[in-house]
Structure 1
Amino acid sequence: MGLQSMEMQKPAESWGLKIKSKTKMAPPCLGLFRPTVGQCCHQCTPESLRNKLGQNSLGGFRNILNINEKHTRYRGWLVRRMCCVLFVSGCKVFPSSVTNRVERVYQSNRVKEALAAQGEQGGDGQGQISLQTFLPLINTCISSGLLRFVGWLFLKMLASVFGSFQVNLNHLLALHKASQEGSRLVYVYVRQSALDCALIPLALFCHSLRVPYTICTVKINSRLLRMILQKVGVIFLLNGDVTEQEFEWDPLSSAVVTSLVRELLHEGQAVSVAVSAEPGQGGQWLARIRQLIKDRSVPDVSLVPVGISYNCEPPADPQVDIGLSSVVKCLLSLLWTRSWGSVRIDLAQPFSLKEMCDSGRCRVDDWLPLQDLLLPVILNNRSESANGRRRMSWLLPFHYASGHKPHPRDDLSIAVILHLLYTITSCKAVTSTSIVSSLLLHKHRKGVKLSVLCRDVSWLTEELLFRNKDVGFGGTLPKVVHYSLSLLAPHLVMAAAPSRKDPLILPRPSPAAAHHLSLQAQTVTHAFILEAVGACAVSAMLSDVAGSGVSSRVRSDGVDGDRVRGDMEFDVVLCQTELTNRALQLCHLLPPGFMPPCQSSLSFALDAVDSLVRCGILIMEEVPRDVPICDVWKREGAFSWTTSDDPYNSDSDCEELESRSYKITQPHQCPDLLFFLCSLPSAYLRSLCWATSALENVLSPLPEADFKTQIHCQVCDMARKKKMHYESCSEEAVHTALQTLIDLGVLLEEQQKGGVFLSVSPLFNSSENRQKLHRFISQYLYNYHV
């Protein structure tokens, strides 16, 4: 029976429910009862958490694009047509001037020392000419009239782009109180698109909070557009052909912007900065602010993590050049382009940066280089790895450390960056497109019926809510699924047999579609990372047992891609110690932002194994013994005690005397759930495997950009040959994999006259050692074929 394509506007009836199509369908409305997210860390900032408790009585959500006469002080027919203008004129604005700011910045010790280091004198004409280039940056201000006009314009523009712009009201009272008390607020968000830096000021402006000065790394060539945005608090760092890395490496530029941030905080202004997991992008701003607090130039700041969730991420690159003509074309194209879905902002609780850094609760004393943690395991076949955290010094630019190598004292700044990356991702709402993308990419890659997809969406939503993860949608299941499929339509293939009304849905086999679905599914991966690490550890042990052939109790008909063929029986006993070691080794490989930085890796690995018991994948193996396991009075040996103030102790620490064993349960859905969890981190791990294989064909040393380009091309060729797993060949995935190889010592960074060069280390010039590394990584991929 042949398949015929089916339009998205003609969904089929399944489960006795008919998904009704609409020409213009608004996203499902959000419910008012959601899990509370975005609270302060109880370990690193307990005082901030205690002070903010009881300030979160204001709940629910607000769509700031839905403005009517109720949001104004007036009523009537004319008001209903001018309600947006009246609303904007009624919002509270905190204008700021630039009185003596230029002089204060130029007279700061940092700027004088930077000028002296360059051989320039403060009164020299050459020094004055050099400083003149920073005048537009320093003179950035907030004009109340222009701010209201730009706010009105953005509300109108976003109304034609998004179906809704939801703001979580849970922590707004805490922000209002902190602002009234004079706290210096610093809003921190994860860089996703060029639109991010505009959404946060707009949300704060609509709720009468102080609009922050926004640090922007987008290049805008139009002088008129730059001048307008600089009057509403946008600080443009880049101009001309200067890149962000070149700007950061310039000592004078760094000194000027550090002094500028100091003056803004002294004025009581709020600041908005972006962080990123990419090397040296964004984290330097938090390091600057921490250094100001350490030098007592600023008493303290309150950091506010901000999670921004897109149903359909805007196609914008934060590093591209933007001109006036491109902006006009973009605005005109909005008249006939499709909607980008909805966007939601979650403002977390503000917490004290000084408390986090000075209290000593945020520990970094167990951080070790990745090669010290994993190389003995990889090359010497050791079963146990070192207990510690992976040091990620590359999150800060080199010039923040002494010389050209990061100093251990900068680990605290890196810990703050990692903490914010994790917190921001945790407070982001999971959208409906994220759930559908995750199911299609990690569970039903070869296609799924609409009725089965509806069932799995309901199941996955319940699992997310059970883990206290908020979802950014509501409404009936048919509307949620139809709305998600309509947004993902360009990246999906839908087909139905003529005699059946239940369509088949599968991802489009293209790199663009796989990359888009992978980006959407990241929030789901983050929510299940604990179970995913445990599942990959189980998969690694099962592959060893099956490969050794010593156990006939492990029987299966094989694994074909992402689908299980035949009946599978996992009748094998797994040792807790070995399982924990496998999970611990995988923890060291994870990119930044997945693990909570205030938890030790060993504790996270123990919790990963326990999470599989909670979700029903593992059960404890009953071992016959003379003394019951619960009879602690008759155990041999003494009790083991742990200090109550140790932040790294785990509920599983008491199990060190009695090593447990586990078996995999036999319910019908257990293999499907196990393989779904194993597939969640597979895109990154597969990219790491492919990058390792590609090292054989690269001649080194090469400039860093050329080296990454060659590896990226080879990884793309591997994906094209396999005609699948295109999400593993994205530029971001390859760059993250290469950074892991640098931390492992597989690649060496050398500073030469032409810049940074990359080369394969002598230890891994041997094909045998590369194969050992490849086997170590691929053990966590249950469906990896060499």
Structure 2
Amino acid sequence: MKTWVCDSGQKLEIFIPFLCKYRPLTGRCCQTCTPRSWDGFYHAQLSSLGFRSAAQVTEEDTRYRGWLVRRLCCFLAVWDWKVPADTPRDLPERVCRSRRVRDVAARQARGSGGNSESRRGWKEKALEILAGIQAPLSLPVLRLCSWVLLRLLSRLFLSVQLHRGQLEMVLRAATTVRSPPDVPLVFLSTHKSQLDGLLLSFLFFSHGLGVPRVTVGSLNCSPRLRALLRCLGGVFLPVGMEQTSSGQDGGLPAAVLASYVEEVLRSRQPLLIFLEEPCAPRYLSATAQEWLALVLRAVRDSAVPDVLLVPVGIAYDLAPDSLQGSGAHGARPLSLSACLWAACRALRRRLGCARVDFAQPFSLQEFVTKTLSRQSSAGKPPEELLLPTILGTHSSQPHSERAEPEGPAPGTAPGSEAEAKLMVTRLGLHALSDSAACSAVTAVGITSALLLHKHRQGVLLSRLMSDFVWLLEETLVRQHDVGFSGQLRALVWHSLALLRAHLTLYHLAPLGDVLVVPEVSVEARWELGQHSAALLPVFASEAVGACAIHALLLEMLPFLGVASCPASITLSQDELLHKTLLLLQLLPPSLLGLQPCQPLDHQSQDILDKLILCGLLEAEELENERWQCDPAPKPFSKRQPWAEMDFTDSDSDSDSDSEDVCNRCFKLREPEGSPGLLLFLCRLLSPVLQTYARAAAFLEQPSWPQPEAACAGALQQFLAEEDGLERPTQSLALSTLRTFKEMGVLEEAPSPAGPLLHLTEPFRSSEGRGKLRAFIQQFLQP
């Protein structure tokens, strides 16, 4: 491992992995947004501490030794776990005495005449709201449920992997005396299954991080299940705030919730916030924005001096999705008996391995300060960037900056609600990108990506194993870790066994090999696509560049000969950067796993560099460059090659150099050892682009205008009917609607029943909608 300092001042860590001998310690914080946190709580030695399985408890995890201890070690270990920080006993009194709650109560008392009954009534109502949000931890129930969960995890998974170095990093952040002191930890996690809350709470409790307060999102629970989750550390939004947007005044429930979050942070209890919903991955949920706004408000109001944010990534070979669809979004609440029945059904099969990763903690105050300092450099909105290109009304290059999502009006005062909402969105999207970047890639994900995007017609097991090694090395080179280790043949057979329901295996006795053929059913494509989506953040830059190359090849196709080979095709750097910028402006960074704080021109140039490094592009040298860089001796001549070079400090040199750089050309080539890489990268991004193309076809529906919620539901139903899927990708559907609103394809119009979405003037005609579909389909690889 070596550290280099580039010209821009950023530190770059270079390592050479070889079949998991050197594994990257993922999850370093962003140098652009949090440069001072880059060296905090991180040491290079942490990467060599190895892994441990949190579901395996031995007598080494207890204070006792002996024959009886080895049989009761799980019970003894759970009974010895400590709770470093707990809810204050006078929490109800503190909440009722808070200034925010008293101000809201005073306004309500003035409205009702200020009698004594109303004064007693608001306190009872505040305590009732607080009881619905949380409950004191019940240690006997907590230890009993932890013991049951420990036994359940050991049956469900082969192992629950946890990196010792990442755990040590988080423990140092929780226990180190800092300036300012009493800085709490807030964990921002991805959400793959409804089991995630219990799993992370168990890991924190068993490794000395305390019992976290886990935010429960849109899960519809029965009263008994809700009471049990509150005793285990779950916190819920008040009933009145679940349908209230963050920009509206929630009255007394909002004041009680804000005061409660401040008290949790003051007592240094860890707070766990899920950034997404299991049914909508890589899409920042509304409940996550509510909780992030409360944390940001607590820091802004100086309730705590600062907050350390820790992104968390979760990866499963097979996600325990038995609870999904049972009551997460249905009308019938999820009951305690339904959870027990789902756990019993899950015990019938093994789900492979699970992996939890912690990223480097970073300061919320530093993130806010850096973000505000860059606020003045916001780019143009996508409506001014993409619409002229789509409609063919411009002739210049697109702008290389994207506008910040949902920004405030130009005349908005600092510290307003619009500015706070913008900061919450930036923070949530950045944390979602960090959590996805630190998540490990599973063996099932690699195998699914190979079967779906490279070997759709079937592949021999020997070829699948060689491609598995290739994709594993490519993943490690891009500083993404994998959640497995072991012998190659055992790993491939392990992933094939977990995907057995969607594969057909033929044993070829004469060859001594096995033919693996994926099924052509819709359900099989859906299952393989869900697993292979974990590789998109790893190869997102190369996939965007490959789709840009595909769009250029489509434009060049009428001018190419029949016998043209890829080595004879030359691509211009200007045209390639132009297509790359267009695709980056179309797709949200959260879907691609890219950092939203990086300018698009930097990202496009980085994509071009990665295409060169992976071998898809080769720079074409000019004759004068070959002559000047050739060290071979030349015959003596009066005219030397350096005689025409100008060494004066004039601006003409920089202009000519920049013109030469902009006029560079590249040859398309096939990388050695990676046949079909261009097609694989295009197909990796094709599910996202296909959803955008089908959403453009959805605009042909005559039901305009309509509310946004109804439009999202109709779009999901349209995608399900066209694909034949029972569970359409909700995150892609919501992302397409947001993108169309930002582009100016859809706009909101006020009405007595609420804002309605309708098509803008250019896209009310079939010609405009056809141009939109053609623009998206140029990047799409069938």
**Could you tell me which residue of structure 1 aligns to residue 559 of structure 2?**
550
Amino acid at match of 1:67: V
**Which residue number in structure 2 is paired with residue 378 of structure 1?**
390
What is the aligned partner in structure 2 of residue 679 from structure 1? 683
Label 1:710 to 1:213 Cα distance change in 2 as closer, same or farther (>3 A).
closer
- What CA deviation, in whole Å up to 9, does each residue of 1:293-333 have, x standing for no partner? 12222210100111111111121335453202202212332
Distance in 2 separating the partners of 1:148 and 1:191: 24
Of 139, 145, 148, the residue aligned with 1:150 is 145
> Which residue in the other structure is 2:773 paired with?
774
Equivalent position of 1:6 in the other structure: none
The match for 2:570 among 547, 569, 573 is 573
| Deviation (angstroms), 1:386 | 1.3
The farther-off stretch of 359-368 and 524-533 is 359-368
Residue in structure 2 matched with residue 606 of structure 1 by the alignment:
605
**Counterpart in the other structure of 2:30:** 41
In structure 2, what is the equivalent of residue 262 of structure 1?
262
Per-residue displacement from partner, 1:562-584 (whole Å, max 9, x unpaired)? xxxxxx53522211111111111
* C-alpha distance in structure 2 between counterparts of 1:255 and 1:49, whole Å: 35
Q: What is the DSSP-based 3-state SS (H/G/I as helix, E as strand, rest coil) of the residue aligned with 1:211?
A: coil
Q: Aligned equivalents of 1:782 and 1:620: distance in 2?
A: 25
Matched, 1:327 2:331: no
Counterpart in the other structure of 1:159 = 154
Tell me the residue number matched to 2:731.
732
Cα deviation, residue 718, structure 1: 3.4
Q: Which runs of 5+ in 1 are unaligned?
A: 1-29, 557-567, 643-652, 721-725
Shift of 1:353: 0.7
- CA spacing shift, 1:484–1:659, aligned 2, 3 Å: same
**CA–CA distance in 1 between the matches of 2:727 and 2:569?**
32
State the TM-score, normalized to the length of structure 1: 0.84
2:15 maps to none
SS in 2 for 1:52: coil
How far apart are residue 140 of structure 1 and its match?
Answer: 2.3
Q: Does 1:107 align with 2:97?
A: yes
Could you tell me how far 1:588 is from its partner in structure 2?
1.4
Q: Which residue of 2 aligns with 1:647?
A: none
8 A Cα contact 2:24 2:480, kept in partner: yes
CA distance, structure 2, for counterparts of residue 470 and residue 185 of structure 1: 24
Aligned to 2:297: 291
- Contact 2:49 2:164 (8 Å CA) reproduced: yes
| Correspondent of 2:356 among 322, 345, 348 | 345
Pair 1:446–1:756, CA change in 2 (3 A): farther
Partner amino acid, structure 1, of 2:31: H
Cα offsets for 1:122-175 (capped at 9, x unmatched): 844664564354131455223333322222121112112112111111122232
- C-alpha distance in 1 between matches for 2:21 and 2:30: 24
Of the three residues 89, 96, 109, the one matched with 2:86 is 96
Deviation at 1:362, TM superposition (A): 6.9
On the 8 A contact 2:92/2:127 being kept in 1, the answer is: no
What secondary structure, in the 3-state scheme, does the structure 2 residue paired with 1:47 have? coil
Letter in 2 for 1:189: S
Deviation at 1:612, TM superposition (A): 0.9
Structure 1 residues 282 and 473: CA distance shift in structure 2, 3 A: same
TM-score normalised by structure 2 residue count? 0.84
* Inter-CA distance 116–435: structure 2 relative to 1 (3 Å threshold): farther
Secondary structure at 1:471 match in 2? coil
CA positional deviation for 1:192: 2.3
Name the counterpart of 2:12. none
Cα distance in 1 for residues equivalent to 2:168 and 2:652: 48
Residues 60 and 319 of structure 1: is their aligned pair in 2 closer, same or farther, counting only changes over 3 Å?
farther
Q: 1:70 aligns with which of 29, 51, 60?
A: 60
Contact map agreement 2:390 2:772 (CA 8 A) in 1: yes
Kept in 2: contact 1:190–1:275 (CA 8 A): yes
Distance of 2:221 and 2:499 partners within structure 1 = 33
Cα gap change, 1:31/1:129 in structure 2, threshold over 3 Å: closer, same or farther?
same
Q: 1:688 to 1:450 in 2, by over 3 A?
A: same
- Deviations for 1:598-634, whole angstroms, at most 9, x for unmatched residues? 3211110011111111011110112233896778964
Cα distance change, pair 95–144 in 1 and its aligned pair in 2 (3 A): farther
Q: Distance in 2 between matches of 1:250 and 1:681?
A: 41
Is the counterpart of residue 476 in structure 1 residue 480 in structure 2?
no
What are the within-5 Å matches in structure 2 for residues 12-411 of structure 1?
A: 33-54=22-43, 57=46, 59-94=49-84, 96-114=86-104, 119=111, 123-124=118-119, 127-128=122-123, 130-180=125-175, 181=177, 182-217=182-217, 219=219, 221-237=221-237, 244-246=242-244, 251-252=250-251, 253-276=253-276, 277-278=283-284, 280-315=286-321, 316-317=323-324, 318-319=328-329, 321-335=333-347, 337-359=348-370, 363-364=374-375, 365-379=377-391, 380-393=393-406, 407-408=418-419, 410-411=421-422
Rounded Cα–Cα distance in structure 1 between residues aligned with 2:208 and 2:487: 34
SS in 1 for 2:517: strand
Aligned position for 1:648: none
C-alpha change, 1:388 and 1:184, in structure 2 (3 Å) is same
Specify the code of the residue in structure 1 equivalent to 2:141: L
Query: CA 1:369/1:640 → structure 2, altered by over 3 Å: closer, same or farther?
Result: farther
Task: Report the secondary structure of 1:749's partner residue.
Answer: strand
RMSD, aligned CA: 3.3
Looking at structure 2, the residues matched to 130 and 383 of structure 1 have their Cα atoms a distance apart, in angstroms, of 61
CA pair 236-569 structure 1, distance change in 2 beyond 3 A: same
Residue 366 (structure 1) shift = 1.9
CA distance in 2, matches of 1:635, 1:716: 65
Instruction: Mark the runs of 5 or more structure 2 residues left unpaired by the alignment.
Output: 1-18, 277-282, 630-641
Give the match's secondary structure for 1:312.
Answer: coil
Q: Secondary structure at the match of 1:742?
A: helix
Q: Percent of counterpart pairs with the same letter?
A: 34
CA distance in 2, matches of 1:463, 1:369: 35
Would you say the 8 A contact 1:217–1:238 is kept in 2? Answer: no
Letter in 2 for 1:178: A
* Residue identity matched to 1:582: K
Pair 1:325–1:753, CA change in 2 (3 A): farther
Task: Pick which of 113-122 and 510-519 moved more.
Answer: 113-122
What's the secondary structure of 1:149's corresponding residue? helix
Distance 1:361 1:237, change over 3 A: closer
- SS of residue paired to 2:716: helix
Deviations 1:472-524 (A, max 9, x none): 00111111011101111223333456765533333333343323322211221
What's 1:759 paired with? 758
**2:224–2:335 CA contact under 8 A, matched in 1:** no
Give distance in 2, aligned partners of 1:381 and 1:668. 40
